[in-house]
Amino acid sequence: MNTPLSWIKDYVPELSCTAQEYSDRMTLTGTKVEGYKKLDKNLEKLVVGEVLSVERHPDADKLVICQVNVGKETVQIVTGAPNIPVGSKGQYVPVVLDGGKVAGGHDGGPLPEEGIRIKAGKLRGVPSNGMMCSIEELGSDHNAYPNAPESGIYIFDEAVIRELSLKPGDSAVKALGMDDVVVEYEITSNRVDCYAVIGIAREAAATFGARFEMPKVKETGNGEDVHDYLKVRVEDTKLCPRYCARMVKNIRFAPSPEWMQKRLRNSGIRPINNLVDITNFVMEEYGQPMHAYDYDTIAGHEIVVKCAEDGDSFQTLDGQVRKLDHTILMINDGEKAVGIAGIMGGENSKITDHVHTVVFEAANFDGVNVRLSAKKAGLRTDASSIFEKGLDPNNAEAAINRACQLVEELGCGEVVGGMIDVYPEKDLPVRIPFTPDRINGLLGTHISPEEMKEIFKKIDLGFDEETQEVIVPTFRRDLHCMADLAEEVLRFHGYDTIESTLPVGEATTGKLSYKLRIDQIARNIAEFAGFSHAMTYAFESPKAFEKLLIPEASELRKAIVISNPLGEDFSIMRTQPLNAMLTALSLNYNRRNPNVRLYDMANIYVPKTLPLTELPEEREQLTLGGYGEDIDFFTMKGVVEELFEHIGMTGRVHYDPAGDRPYFHPGRKADILYNGQVVGYLGEVHPKVCANYDFKEGVRVYIAVLDMPALIPNTSFDRHYQGIAKYPATARDISMLVPKEVLVGQIEDVLQTRGGKLLESFRLFDLYEGEQVKAGCKSVAYSLSFRAQDRTLTDEEVNGTMRKILNGLEALGIELRS
């Protein structure tokens, strides 16, 4: 919300402080000031000038020479403006004198920080002392000053000259209403009363300890009674707790006076005419949206407030046709709908230039209903965004009376006497028991009950001494309980004045959950292995499945869909972490980063049913990915095993190349099995998938994924020291001729199962395929180490175990090489 400080001062006349002080103190009492703008920034030596004569420039067709009365003297100014023709005179214009400053150029471009200094000089040989200004040069625009020409010098209106009794030499800044500061507030949604100038003014008065004066509204209206003109019937008083209507006859359109235009303009609202300006003014001032209907278009001179019927449609005054249903509250006349309650009026009853009689509506609508209706109708307006916060029904009457008073004051029409008021259940002040001890208990303060009561008084809360209750006026719709009062007390006692203490009481243990400890170790291992932490989005495009070659029928395609995504690219919750990793790697590759290793530690989302009827499983995945030098399948496998070792997963790990992983190279992939259960997978990314992620042909990309929830039950931090061997080991090497299809893993299975207790360790030391080896075979050599904890092994013992191993190997079709 933007409000000029001058308007606040209308209701807090004693307020005297700099804009900075105002901002700081208001922020600290809870009316947050986002910033402020001085409208006269960079406007110096700016006066009202009267053009006395305009003559042709001897050497330039487009320039004219003006004599301008600037008060104490007459100066000569050369201008090229198109709206000061030769021979004209008498115009009142803003003039910047020699040595003064303006805010910007005449093109209305961005304003330079320091403004533009104007100096006397010569234009095509003719001296020019100062400059007549366009509205753009003064830092504003045609929107704020609709009377300003599209191009040319700003010329003051006759009415303004009269209203302000302008004379040459007067301050042009003042005459333009630029002697003001516009303050931008961030109003929280609970303080509907502060979406109004008087609400902010009340806070300002309390903050600065100054007097607050409500606008004085006197009784208005002629001798007639509005009830003789119009009937109002509210069918749904829950959705429309109050409906006030008044009427104005003999509408006379004219521009609003400058004082009102200034208020609106400086609030960011374009002045239009007296009638529109009045409703806008009252909206700003009281925070009550109003609507005006053309009485002559109201069929039966009757207003009926009721919900639409399913399938109805309605053309709002912006020309759009809106679909309605039975939950949307409508304003109707005797025959048809004329407006969507609290949102927008209809094309059929809108005010035209030919209007004679106007019906003012100031109503109160249920906030939730307005919010939902606005959503359904696809139309969120200034009015609806205010109504949906839930307004004070008692404010409607005050606002409509204020509007009628302004109508009379501005001579905009003849107000008909009386007000139609459908208000079956009056909204009454809330009463909250005053419990100063509990307030101090919650705040940790020692504020006296007297100070608390003083604060309540400052913000217009009443107090019932007899019942010891705080009486909350209906405009404060946010106060209901002790904690609410505590905040009011603290706001004005000062948030920054209270002590800093630390909680006392039962001690608690600070710790990470077990899962988070494992996560931390996993991150450390990944980083030690050279992978950097990447963070990726949880949602992605359904196109990911095609890019990853995931078949139509795959379970992975059963993804949770966001109903209102940012776009298709962010529309499903990921069921695999590969797309995010490949996207990150691809970005690096395309930025020519040579060797990249990344890891990601984040969830995939596995629905139990679709559509979702319960929360899905969120499974955290450790995903490692990389490309470049010194990385291959076995690098990835190494990280997996390092991690297992460090989180106490000492059981048997198997790598099964048969798993169905279409995104991987068919001959370079494996499921990772721990004690027979799949806990992850790794592989070289399929060249087609690489191409889908814009890698050049031949670039090899590797990914390993570990399913953290599958790992965690297998982790352990129990360690048992085994003793360092005292007896010597016996080494035996075996060299084998192995059929190609037999995996080294199978050989190791034999070693492990048949080696028994005596086989301490084994190590692959040679693997060879080539010409010297029998066709269809590879040469494999292992070094085996045998040892017992309690004795030196004899050759016979070792030979026995070796025989068992060799028998096992022979069963795989392996020949021993001598």
Partner 1 sequence: MNEQLTKLTGEALEKIAKAQDLDALNGVRVEYLGKKGLITAVMKGMKDVAPEDRPAFGQVVNEARQQVEEALEKAKQALSEKAEEERLKAEVIDVTLPAKKANIGHGHPCQIALDEVERIFIGMGYEVVEGPEIEWQEYNFTKLNIPEGHPARDEQDTFYINDEILLRSQTSPVQARVMEQGKLPIRMIAPGRVFRSDSIDATHSPSFYQIEGLVVDRHITMTDLKGTLDEFAKELFGPDTKTRFRPHHFPFTEPSAEVDVSCFKCGGKGCRFCKDEGWIEILGCGMVHPHVLDMCGIDSNEYTGFAFGVGLERIALLKYEIDDMRLLYENDQRFLNQF
Q: Which of 3, 490, 18 is nearest to 200 (CA)?
A: 3
- The least distance separating partner 1 from the CB of residue 307, rounded to whole angstroms, comes to 16
The three-class DSSP label of residue 625 is strand
- The least distance separating partner 1 from the CB of residue 394, rounded to whole angstroms, comes to 21
Contact 706, 622 (CB under 8 A): yes
- The least distance separating partner 1 from the CB of residue 27, rounded to whole angstroms, comes to 6
Q: Going edge to edge, which strands form the sheet with 329-332?
A: 231-234, 302-307, 329-332, 337-340, 344-345
Comparing CB distances to partner 1, the nearer of 409 and 484 is 484
Comparing CB distances to partner 1, the nearer of 564 and 772 is 564
- The least distance separating partner 1 from the CB of residue 706, rounded to whole angstroms, comes to 16
Per-residue CA distances from 354 to 252, 270, 315, 337, 416 (Å): 10, 21, 21, 22, 19
- The least distance separating partner 1 from the CB of residue 560, rounded to whole angstroms, comes to 6
Query: For residue 620, what are its two tokens?
Result: 């955290």
Tally Cβ neighbours within 10 Å of residue 297: 17
- To the nearest 10°, the Cα dihedral for 156, 157, 162, 163? -90
- The least distance separating partner 1 from the CB of residue 28, rounded to whole angstroms, comes to 6
Burial class (CB in 10 A: 0-12, 13-18, 19+), 189: exposed
Contact 479, 472 (CB under 8 A): yes
Distance CA(517)–CA(511), nearest Å, equals: 9
- The least distance separating partner 1 from the CB of residue 112, rounded to whole angstroms, comes to 18
- The least distance separating partner 1 from the CB of residue 604, rounded to whole angstroms, comes to 11
Comparing CB distances to partner 1, the nearer of 369 and 801 is 369
Contact 71, 46 (CB under 8 A): no
Comparing CB distances to partner 1, the nearer of 338 and 485 is 485
Query: For residue 89, what are its two tokens?
Result: 């005179």
CA atoms within 13 A on the CB side of 376: 20
DSSP state string for 37-100: EETTTT-EEEEEEEEEEEEEETTEEEEEEEEEE-SS-EEEEEE--TTS-TT----EEEEEEEEE
Distance CA(760)–CA(98), nearest Å, equals: 98
Comparing CB distances to partner 1, the nearer of 431 and 757 is 431
- The least distance separating partner 1 from the CB of residue 812, rounded to whole angstroms, comes to 39
- The least distance separating partner 1 from the CB of residue 556, rounded to whole angstroms, comes to 17
Comparing CB distances to partner 1, the nearer of 477 and 661 is 477
Comparing CB distances to partner 1, the nearer of 269 and 374 is 374
Distance CA(166)–CA(158), nearest Å, equals: 10
Comparing CB distances to partner 1, the nearer of 502 and 724 is 502
Comparing CB distances to partner 1, the nearer of 360 and 387 is 387
Comparing CB distances to partner 1, the nearer of 45 and 517 is 517
- The least distance separating partner 1 from the CB of residue 490, rounded to whole angstroms, comes to 5
Comparing CB distances to partner 1, the nearer of 257 and 625 is 625
Comparing CB distances to partner 1, the nearer of 178 and 602 is 602
Cα dihedral sign, 408-413-417-420: negative
- The least distance separating partner 1 from the CB of residue 460, rounded to whole angstroms, comes to 17
Per-residue CA distances from 153 to 132, 135, 142, 552, 566 (Å): 6, 7, 12, 69, 46
**Residue written as tokens 């965690």?**
712
Comparing CB distances to partner 1, the nearer of 583 and 730 is 583
Comparing CB distances to partner 1, the nearer of 24 and 546 is 24
Q: Which of 84, 33, 101, 86 is nearest to 55 (CA)?
A: 86
First to last CA, the chain: 91
- The least distance separating partner 1 from the CB of residue 446, rounded to whole angstroms, comes to 10
Distance CA(20)–CA(36), nearest Å, equals: 8
- The least distance separating partner 1 from the CB of residue 520, rounded to whole angstroms, comes to 8
- Which residues in 388-496 belong to E strands, given as ranges? 414-415, 420-422, 430-433, 462-464, 469-472
